Every structure is written in C-alpha cells, then in structure tokens.
A and B are shown apart, each in its own frame.
Chain A
Amino acid sequence: MAVAGETVAAPAPPRTRLLGAERVNLVYWALVLVPLVVLVVFYIYPLSRVLLISVTEPRLGFGNYVRIVESTGVRRVIWTTTWICLVTSTLSLVLGYLLAYAILHMRSGWQTWMMVGVLLSFWVSILIRAFAWITLLQTRGLVNNFLLDAGLISQPLALIRNELGVIIGMVHYMVPYAALPLLASMRSIDARLVPAARGLGARPLQGFLYVYLPLSLPGIIAASILVLIFSLGFFVTPALLGGGRVIMLAEYIALQVNETLAWGLGTALASSMLITVFLMLVVLARAVSFRRLFGAA
C-alpha cells in the first residue's frame, strides 16, 4: 500500500504532529457539522417542503400564486397586513428610539429602573399581554368603563376587534424589540461628538439632527427591518385582538390550512412571506454586519 510505504519513508515526529492536527480539526469539524446536519434535516427540509407544496398542490405549477394575485380576498388580507405592519413598525421605531436615547442619557439610578421595565415588557408572555389588552379595551373593559363613569363618552368606544386594537397590541409588543438593538448601537456612538458640535456653535437640535441621528442610522436600519420582519409574521396579537374581523397574513394562512384545508394556497402565501423576509435580510446585510447586530442582542 502506498500509504504504508510513505509512513515508513517519512520521519516519525512531524508525521505524528500532522496527524494530531488533522484529528483536532476533525473533532472541531464534527462540532460544526453535527448541529448543521440536524438543522438541515429537521428545520431546513421542512421549510423546503413548504415551497414544494406551494407549486405541487393541488396540481403542478404556479396556480396558487396566480390565485394570490387574482383573488380579491387574498389581496385585501395582504393590503391589511402591509399597512398595519408599516404603521406598527414606524410607531415602534420612533418610540423605541426615544426610549433608547432617553435610557442612555438619563441618570444611572433611573437607568436601572428603565431597564427593568424594558426587559419585563420584553419577556412577559405574549398571550398574557394580549389578554391584558382585551381586559382593558373590550366594550365593557376598564378603559371604556372609566371613560363612561367620568362622563367623557356616552357610548363605549370600539377599541378592540378592529385595526386600532391590533396596532395598540402590536406596538406594545414591538417597542422593546426596537429599543434593545437601538440601545446597543447607540452605545457605540462616541459621546464626545455631540458636545464637540455644540462647542462649534450647533444648537441642541442641530447637534442631534446632523451628528447623532446620522451616526445612529445603522442601528435604525437594523431595528426597523427586524421589527418589520417580526410584525409581518405576527400571529397571536392580531388573532386575539383582531377578534376575527382584522385578519392578517399569518392568521389567514392558518385559516386556509386548518379550516379549508387549502394547503396549496396557504403554503404559497407562506412562501411569499418567506421570500419577502429574506429580501429584507439582504437589505439588512448590506446596511450592517450580522455579527454586530446579533452579537449585541
């Protein structure tokens, strides 16, 4: 055997070291590849099935996608989803930015309390929050009762089972998701730059608009795309606070699959959602490095 001949010819010590290095790498490659294979088999493969079903059921071809474009019902759902997502993301981003900026610049004693609040609202169960909002906003809820008792209104306001309720619930959920990455990116801004601009004669607002805001732009882009992606796929809050009257895409997909067993249409919508999310990620990858984004989270 050629290999055995080589072993005899080669000097012993370097050969052992070489084998050792190869074996080390083998171990580390195993550490990388085993989780990768598990992910591909139990996660990526199921995802690929979604794409596959969308072009094979009920029959081969792009019929399901044609239905998405042609059906007025589907178009209405997509329209509702789009505008609720845009409004929610914009509000969450503005409020998250304000919160992050305030936390970073307030007294450190207050900072801790603010962080407790942000983390609490970040972690509390999404279902419990939806429940709390139902309690507050329903026809005989706390808000309506209070306003009625105070004589400010004579009829209960419709605060739930409509777009308003869904947006309130979603913004409430999304503000910490916007604030936390913004906070991480704002921490890396050199705190001496705005005072320097002020020293050169800039007014406070100018210092913010021309120095701070541009420096925080990568964080804004990252946070806005994260929030957009999350709100696009939002299921629980729209389903519970929309009360069947405001139907967003994720709930509509679930209805297609569970109620009408229309797997073809459901998976075609899911695939479109998936592709949209990945296109957003491409934009995000161009704007900021992934390592910084996720290393900070």
Chain B
Amino acid sequence: MDETRKGPGFILVIGAAWLLMLFLVLPIFVVIPVSFSPERFLSMPQGELSLRHYRELVDDPTWGRSIRDSFVVALAASGIAIVLGTACAIGCWRLATRFTESVRVFMLTPMIVPPIVHALGMHRVWVELGLIDTLAGLILAHAMKGMPFVVISVSAVLANFDLRLEQAARSLGASPLTAVRLTILPNIWPGVLAGGVFAFAISWDEIVVALFLTQRGVYTLPRRIWDGIQDNISPTVAAIGVILVLATILAVLLKLLWDRWLASRGAAESL
C-alpha cells in the first residue's frame, strides 16, 4: 500500500489535485480586492483602499430590501419543505410498499428537471392562480424545489433507525402521531435539519424561477445581483459577494464541526 502511495504517479495525482483546488477556490476570492477598490467601475485597487462599495450596500435601499425578501422566502420555503418532506419520508419508510418506494423517487423530480422548464410551467399556472409576483407564489415554488433535499436526508437517517422503537411506543399505547413525535423525530432531527439547511440554501441562491415568477413586488437578492451584473457590472456586487463568500465559509466550517460532532455522538451511542 505504502509503496503505491509514494510512487511518482501518485505524487503527480496529488499535485494535480492541489492545482485543481486552486482553480476551484482562488477565483472566488477575487471579489475581496475588487470590493475595496475606490473606483466606480470594476477594478483592482491601486494602493488606495475604499469602503464605498460597502457604503453603497447600506445606502441603496434595494439591497437591504432584496436581502429581506430573500430571507423571508428562503425561511418560509424551507419550513414548508421540512414539514412536507419529513412527513413523506417517514410515511414511505414506515409503510415500505412498492408504491411508496416509487413515491419517494417521484418526489425527487424537482431537483432533476432543468429550472427553465418548471419556471415556464409555473409562470403560466401562477398567473392563473394570481400568485405571480407575490411572496406566497415564490415561497410555494421554492418549497417544491427544496422538498426533495429534505426527503433524501431524512430518508438517509431513517434507513439506520430501528423500526421496533416505533412499534414499542405503539404497543405501550401511543397514538401514531405521538409515536412519531416521541420516538421518530428525536432521532431523525439531524437529517431534518440538514435537509432544511439545504432547502434554505437552494432558495437563497435561486434565480431562474425568481426571474419568471417575480417582477417588482418581490425582489430577491439573486435578482438584485443579476441586475447588478447586467448594468455595467457594478462593483457593489463584489461587496455583497465578499459577505456571501464569508457566510459560505462559516457554513462549511460549521458543517464539518457538525459532522464531527455527529460522528462522536454515534460512537458514544454504539459503545
């Protein structure tokens, strides 16, 4: 094993992987210097640094508003996705018939269909339902997009959950919903949370459906950024980019800590 590991071919592979990692990560960080440029156009700062693009984020009310809209939509959409996705995963797991197995695969449709396709269909139907350009309309659309991720992550946790726990609760007189609440939910909540975070992130960064379902009434952050790039590539986008990249780094580090905590918890339980 060690012999293969230290061969010249292997060292080449590892070196190439590190180069690839630079290609993946470095371009993202270009937003940092650009965001401190004192110029009104997109440029690298030449000596002098400025916070004017961050000021712009605060002074221009459309940015604050779009952050608020995005937050409301993502929170509500992931809430709906959590409730529906968890319910579906639990039901499919407990019934475990051929039909429910197909339902579970069927529930994944929204993550496979190209966004432009469902954006067109939703636009038509939302116009008829009076949901176009409303918070409720976009929340509903994003909830559909988020649901598959909750179904997947909850199903993954349930696959390791002992069915007899639920049966024991039932035989002690718990009603089905009480059994779900007292035995299943306390054990699957990491999966519920992970799916919910996924659904939140999907909605937070969603642009294609938002372009088709909203105009002026709802103005999400991705749409604001989209407009910022379209109009003369505003450097303010770099400032919001820095904030978003920092938030993502924080989220990734939290996720790794979380994985570690789950692993240690799992190890402690199996002892």
Closest to B43 in A: A140
Known: A36-B88, A99-B20. A250 touches B116 (CB 8 A): yes
In the assembly, what is the distance between CA of A297 and CA of B122, in Å?
27
What 1/0 flags go to B105-119 for Cβ under 8 Å of A? 111111011111110
For chain B, what secondary structure do more than half of its interface residues adopt (helix, strand, loop), or is it mixed?
helix
Indicate if the CB atoms of B147 and A270 lie closer than 8 Å. Answer: no
Closest to A295 in B: B156
In the assembly, what is the distance between CA of A98 and CA of B44, in Å?
33
The one of A30, A121, A136, A295 in contact with B152, judged by C-beta atoms closer than 8 angstroms, is A295
Tell me how far the C-beta of B234 lies from the nearest C-beta in chain A, rounded to whole angstroms: 10
Tell me how far the C-beta of A148 lies from the nearest C-beta in chain B, rounded to whole angstroms: 13
| A67: interface (CB < 8 Å) | no
The one of B85, B113, B141 in contact with A47, judged by C-beta atoms closer than 8 angstroms, is B113
Tell me how far the C-beta of A269 lies from the nearest C-beta in chain B, rounded to whole angstroms: 9
Known: A44-B109, A105-B5, A114-B17. A35 touches B84 (CB 8 A): yes
| B245: interface (CB < 8 Å) | yes
Indicate if the CB atoms of A132 and B156 lie closer than 8 Å. Answer: no
Indicate if the CB atoms of A102 and B23 lie closer than 8 Å. Answer: no
From A6-14, A58-66, A150-158, A273-281, the one touching the partner chain is A273-281
Can you list 29 A-B contacts with CB-CB less than 8 angstroms, sorted by A residue number?
A: A29-B95, A30-B91, A31-B90, A32-B103, A35-B85, A38-B144, A39-B110, A45-B125, A49-B121, A50-B117, A101-B13, A102-B17, A105-B14, A114-B17, A117-B24, A123-B252, A124-B244, A124-B248, A125-B225, A131-B237, A132-B27, A132-B28, A135-B31, A145-B44, A233-B115, A235-B208, A240-B229, A295-B155, A295-B156
Name 13 extra pairs, CB < 8 A, besides A128-B225, A134-B229. Answer: A30-B91, A32-B88, A32-B92, A38-B84, A39-B147, A42-B141, A99-B20, A118-B24, A125-B205, A129-B27, A135-B238, A235-B207, A277-B112
